[in-house]
């Protein structure tokens, strides 16, 4: 596995093209030197990934696409785009579909992604869902005797995860004299500016003690312990309709750790369906701080539900979303391609 491609992290068509060119130039000598039997490229990373795929295609190297989210649509429907930018990304979507069709197969993490890709003419699509390593993310025997109720958020701080809405909900609860609820943040690739604004916002609300930032944790054992010792995990999506088809990795890590899950999602979203059908948590509508406050209060006051939901969540991952089992199935599919 190699990740040596230079990339400028800006959303602009010219930067996107520059990243594709950089990716292509970086990939060609590597591919010529190694001449792999198969190359696997993971999306998102649409710009750098596209350059790599083009290099594979030109050099006649078999490749597999690991399609992890609808990155093209995220670019196309991003806010404040000019007509030219949206047109450019629409064109790039057509280019990406062209190369997906030429892949040995496309691995998609949700069934809606599989269906959507097939509608676009990508016929060889296989479903390999996200998951969690159950041997690493596992429940603790006994949670620490904290004097507060902890809601854990694990992942990047900012973008489409609205932690400010969670703070607004905690303010509503604090005004009801529920002041012992804490939002714990364990960052990955944290945006320091957004983190600063979150801390400032909590101060403005007068609930600065309700926000605890635990830093970036690259050690998985340390991260899994922090998650498992919390009372509930949260996924605070914004109201972008694209997230209706998403099942994020953090969801499976929470579940594997034996936590019930709170998510701000639309009722017809895939995540809401999984949570509801398996009775492993509660949901509220995106950007609705009052609705989220009601959900938090409900799960806070029902220890029996939290414990039973957490057990069901763990069983769900063990039976269907253990990443080790999924990885073995994916490896078998790759080996079949190599034999061809």
Based on the fold, state whether residues 154 and 273 are members of the same structural domain: yes
Interval 165-209: pLDDT, tens: 999 999 999 999 999 999 999 987 677 888 999 999 999 999 999
Over residues 96-124, the mean pLDDT reads 96
CATH number at residue 329: 3.40.50.2000
Looking at beta carbons, which pairs linking 323-331 to residues 24 or more positions away fall under 8 Å? 323/130, 323/131, 323/132, 323/133, 323/134, 323/252, 324/133, 324/134, 324/135, 325/131, 326/128, 326/129, 326/131, 329/128, 330/107, 330/128
Rounded Cα gap, residues 73 and 59, in angstroms:
29
Say if CB 96 and CB 70 are below 8 A apart: no
Over residues 215-223, the mean pLDDT reads 90
Based on the fold, state whether residues 161 and 309 are members of the same structural domain: yes
Instruction: With H, G, I as helix, E, B as strand and everything else as coil, classify residue 339.
Output: helix
Based on the fold, state whether residues 270 and 313 are members of the same structural domain: yes
Interval 59-94: pLDDT, tens: 999 999 999 989 999 889 887 788 899 999 999 999
Instruction: Report the number of distinct structural domains present in the chain.
Output: 2
Q: Say yes or no to pLDDT of 220 above 60.
A: yes
| DSSP code of residue 295 | H
Q: Say yes or no to pLDDT of 50 above 70.
A: yes
The answer to the question of residue 302 being in a domain is yes
pLDDT at 280: 98
Q: In which domain, by residue range, is 286 found?
A: 149-320
Say if CB 145 and CB 180 are below 8 A apart: no
Prior bond to 61 cis, omega within 30? no
């Amino acid at each position: 596995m190699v990740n040596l491609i230079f990339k400028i992290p800006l959303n602009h068509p010219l930067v996107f093209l520059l990243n594709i060119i950089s990716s292509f130039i970086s990939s060609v000598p590597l591919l010529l030197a190694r001449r792999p039997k198969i190359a696997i490229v993971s999306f998102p990373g649409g710009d750098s990934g596209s350059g790599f795929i083009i290099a594979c295609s030109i050099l006649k190297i078999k490749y597999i696409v690991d399609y992890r989210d609808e990155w093209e649509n995220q670019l196309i429907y991003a806010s404040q785009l000019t007509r030219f930018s949206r047109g450019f990304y629409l064109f790039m979507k057509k280019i990406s579909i062209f190369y997906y069709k030429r892949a040995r197969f496309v691995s998609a993490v949700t069934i809606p992604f599989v269906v959507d890709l097939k509608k676009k003419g990508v016929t060889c699509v296989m479903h390999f869902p996200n998951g969690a390593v159950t041997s690493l993310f596992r429940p603790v025997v006994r949670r620490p005797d904290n004097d507060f109720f902890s809601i854990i958020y694990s992942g990047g701080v900012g973008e489409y995860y609205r932690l400010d809405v969670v703070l607004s909900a905690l303010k509503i609860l604090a005004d009801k004299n529920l002041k012992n609820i804490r939002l714990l943040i364990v960052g990955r690739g944290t945006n320091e500016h957004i983190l600063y604004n979150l801390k400032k916002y909590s101060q403005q609300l007068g609930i600065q003690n309700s926000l605890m930032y635990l830093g970036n944790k690259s050690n998985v054992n340390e991260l899994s312990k922090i998650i498992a010792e919390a009372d509930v995990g949260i996924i605070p999506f914004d109201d972008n309709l694209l997230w209706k088809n998403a099942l994020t990795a953090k969801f499976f890590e929470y579940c594997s750790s034996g936590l019930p899950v709170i998510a701000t999602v639309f009722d017809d979203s895939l995540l809401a369906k999984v949570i509801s059908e398996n009775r492993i948590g509660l949901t509220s509508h995106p950007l609705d701080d009052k609705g989220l406050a009601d959900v938090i209060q409900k799960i806070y006051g029902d220890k029996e539900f939290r414990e039973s939901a957490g057990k069901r969540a763990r069983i769900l991952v063990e039976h269907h979303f253990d990443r080790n089992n999924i990885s073995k199935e994916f490896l078998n599919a790759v080996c079949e391609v190599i034999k061809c």
